Chains A and B, each alone.
Chain A
Amino acid sequence: MRISSFFYTIGQGFKNLGRNKWYTLASVATISACLFLFGIFYSIITNFQNVVKTAEEGVSVTVFFNEGTSEEEILAVKSDLEKRSEVREIDYVSADAAWEGFKEEYLGEYADGFTENPLADSANLQIYLNDVSMQQALVTYIESITLVREVNRSEVTATTLSGINKLIAYVSAGIILILLLVSIFLISNTVTMGISVRKDEINIMKYIGATDFFVRAPFVVEGILIGIIGSLIPLVIIYFVYTHAIEYVISKFTVLSSLLKFLPVGVIFNKLTPISLIIGIGIGFFGSFVTVRRHLHV
Chain B
Amino acid sequence: MERVYRKRRNNRQIPEDEIITLENVTKSYSTGAPALNGVNLHIKRGEFVFIVGDSGSGKSTLIKLLLRELVPTDGEITVLGYNLRRIKHRKIPKFRRNLGIVFQDFRLLKDRNVYENVAFAQRIVQVPGSQIKRNVPSILATVNLAGKYKNKISQLSGGEQQRVALARALVNKPAILLADEPTGNLDPNNSWEIMKLMEQINENGTTVIVVTHNREIVNAMKKRVITMKKGVIIEDEEEGMYIDED
Residues on A lying within 8 angstroms of B by beta carbon are 1-2, 4-5, 8, 19-20, 200-201, 203-212, 214, 298
A201 to chain B, nearest CB (A): 6
User: A residues within 8 A CB of B125?
Assistant: 208-209
Once bound together, how far apart are the Cα atoms of A236 and B123, in whole Å? 38
SS of A interface (majority): helix
Q: Which residues on B sit within 8 Å (CB–CB) of A211?
A: 90, 93
Contact partner of A209 (CB less than 8 A), chosen from B90, B96, B129, is: B96
- With A and B bound together, what is the CA distance between A271 and B67 in angstroms? 51
User: Do A298 and B93 have beta carbons less than 8 Å apart?
Assistant: no
Interface residues of B (CB under 8 A from A): 67, 69, 90, 93-97, 99, 101, 107, 109, 111-112, 120-121, 123-126, 128-129, 168, 172
**Complex contact A4–B128 (CB within 8 A):** yes
Pick from A5, A203, A209: contact of B93, CB below 8 A: A209
Chain B residues with Cβ below 8 Å from A20 are 111
Given contacts A8-B123, A209-B93, contact A2 B128 (CB under 8 A): yes
CA distance A298 to B71 in the complex (A): 11
Query: Which 3 residue pairs are nearest across A and B when measured between Cβ atoms?
Result: A209-B97, A209-B96, A210-B124
- The residue that B109 contacts in the complex, of A8, A201, A206, A298, with Cβ under 8 A, is A201
| Cα-based distance from A203 to B125 in the complex (angstroms) | 15
Contact A204 B123 (CB under 8 A): no
Minimum CB distance partner of B121 in chain A = A208
Determine the distance from Cα of A19 to Cα of B111 in the docked complex, in whole angstroms: 6
Q: Cβ of B67 and Cβ of A209 under 8 Å apart?
A: no
A contact residues around B97 at 8 Å (CB)? 208-209
The CA-CA distance from A205 to B109 in the complex, in Å, is 10
How distant is B112 from chain A, measured CB to nearest CB, in Å? 8
The answer to whether B126 touches A204, judged by C-beta atoms less than 8 angstroms apart, is no
Contact partners of B124 in chain A: CB under 8 A:
205, 208-210, 214
Q: What are 12 of the A-B contact pairs (CB < 8 Å)?
A: A5-B123, A19-B112, A201-B109, A204-B107, A207-B67, A208-B96, A208-B97, A208-B124, A209-B94, A209-B97, A209-B172, A211-B90
A207–B128 CB distance below 8 A: no
A101 to chain B, nearest CB (A): 78
Q: Tell me the bound Cα distance from A5 to B124 in angstroms.
A: 8
Residues of chain B within 8 A of A1, CB atoms compared: 126
Our pick among B67, B101, B126, B168 for the contact of A2 (Cβ within 8 Å) is: B126
User: With a CB–CB cut-off of 8 A, which chain B residues contact A19?
Assistant: 111-112
Chain A residues, Cβ within 8 Å of B172 = 208-209
Determine how close the nearest CB of chain B comes to the CB of A133; give it in whole angstroms.
56
CB distance from A246 to the nearest CB of B (A): 46
Is there an interface contact between B129 and A207, defined as CB atoms closer than 8 Å?
Answer: no
CA gap between A200 and B107 in the complex, in Å: 7
Closest chain A CB from B143 CB (angstroms)? 17
Listed residue (A1, A203, A206) with the most chain B CB atoms within 10 angstroms of its CB = A206
CB contacts (< 8 Å) of A210 on chain B: these are: 93, 124
Query: Contacts A203-B107, A208-B96 hold; do A298 and B69 have CB atoms under 8 A apart?
Result: yes
Residue of A nearest to B129 (CB): A4
- Give Cα distance in the complex from A4 to B127, angstroms: 10
Contacts of A2 in B (CB 8 A): 126, 128
